[in-house]
Amino acid sequence: MEIKKTTFSERPALIEPEGSVARINFDIEEVTEVINQGEGNGEEETRTVYLAHIVRVEQPLTFDRIKAAMVEKGFDDDKAEEQTAMTLLALVQGGQHVGNELELARRAVIARISAYDKSDAVNQFSYNGVPMWLDKETRNGLIARLNAEKAVGKTTSTLWLGTQSFTITPDAGLQMLAALEVYASECYDKTAEHKAAVAALDDVSAILNYDIEDGYPQQPTFGE
């Protein structure tokens, strides 16, 4: 479920105090909004507004408080970890908070790597042109099933993904799953390599500009 952004007429600051609470504004984007479509020969009227995700956190701000507020708002753990670290990093760099810039930058980018590792950019292959993914538990279950069907002499098997079915031979299915396992292992290794590389960097700019997408294997394609 997409988390709705709040609209502002002026660009909000990262932190806006509201009594004992701080409102954190992030993922800010500037958009043009139509306020009058214009009729006849009239000109369309627009205005610039700003959209931002917001969370409210009791002060004093701490990593755990900010992250908990983001998780409660509906953000997943990786997004909450990344945004919390980036928020505190900005405050530290602005002299508004005390913290370790390198550690905060590393936490943000490592969370970004974890999120990328779980995304469709990594966890996806195609069968007969249909994009899909099978997690490790599902792959192991299918291997057991296909081996059993092969042992009793079945020559075809029907695999389901949601409401779509695919007919495949046990041998072809096992070969596909073996290739998927190799692909998943290579992706796992690349993710671990990226995290280790970020952890070893000692420059905030280098960490924040680290290319988290580099070096992943090409997504597999199977079928006709």
- Distance between terminal CA atoms of the chain? 34
Give the pLDDT score at 26.
Answer: 97
Task: Sketch the domain layout of the chain as residue ranges.
Answer: 6-99, 125-218
User: Over the stretch 81-135, which tens digit does the pLDDT of each residue have?
Assistant: 999 999 999 999 999 999 999 999 999 999 999 999 999 999 999 998 999 999 9
Give the pLDDT score at 161.
Answer: 78
Token output for 176: 């596909």
Token output for 152: 């009793």
Give the pLDDT score at 42.
Answer: 65
> 66 with 18: CB under 8 angstroms?
no
The C-alpha atoms of residue 161 and residue 148 are separated, in whole angstroms, by 20
Going by their DSSP bridges, the two strands 125-127 and 221-222 should be labelled as: parallel
pTM (predicted TM-score): 0.91
Residues of the chain with pLDDT under 50: none
Give the pLDDT score at 213.
Answer: 98
The sheet carrying 125-127 orders its strands as 130-132, 125-127, 221-222
The C-alpha atoms of residue 38 and residue 45 are separated, in whole angstroms, by 7
Give the pLDDT score at 34.
Answer: 86
Give the pLDDT score at 187.
Answer: 98
The C-alpha atoms of residue 64 and residue 85 are separated, in whole angstroms, by 10
